[in-house]
Amino acid sequence: MATEMQIAANRANAKRSTGPKTAAGKQRSSGNAFRHGLSGPLPADALTTAAIEGIARAVVAGADFEPEEAMAFATSELELRRIREVRKDLLMDLAPRELRRLAALDRYERVALTKSRRARRSLAKPAHN
């Protein structure tokens, strides 16, 4: 259990860790997640949908997988492709300021890889009948 001193220290830290206070700071931080365009879901266009369905069909071919599991796997694979394409583009035009952007891609890729691993595990389980 936390002591009174630890609780007081936690409260003091929390007061300082509440994010930007000024309008300019809030505006700047609001765009952080959209710098690469990778934080949102895949576009819901016909081309993306066809790619996801194609990957899902290839995964399910001849196997007894749940369609939702195959779609989750296919979506995560497409996200990984998108992240890797952005990385490739950045590497082609590498400049010192781009190194930070390149490092940020690792975070997005880790999230996508986690989704992919979960989908693979789900596919590896026997189908629910």
How many distinct structural domains can be found in the chain? 1
Residue 24, in any domain of the structure: no
**Average confidence (pLDDT) over 83-112:** 81
Element (H, E) at 39: none
> Could you give the maximum distance between any two Cα atoms of the chain, in Å?
62
Residue 117, in any domain of the structure: yes
pLDDT reported for residue 43? 83
Cβ distance 52 to 63 under 8 Å? no
Cβ distance 87 to 98 under 8 Å? no
pLDDT reported for residue 68? 85
- pTM, to two decimals: 0.52
Range of the domain at 102: 43-123
Tokens linked to 55:
């990957």
Model confidence over 8-30: pLDDT tens digits? 988 888 877 777 878 888 777 77
More confident residue, 93 or 113: 113
Q: What is the dihedral of CA 67, 63, 126, 59, to 10 degrees?
A: -50
Residue 4, in any domain of the structure: no
pLDDT reported for residue 127? 64
Residue 52, in any domain of the structure: yes
Residue 129, in any domain of the structure: no
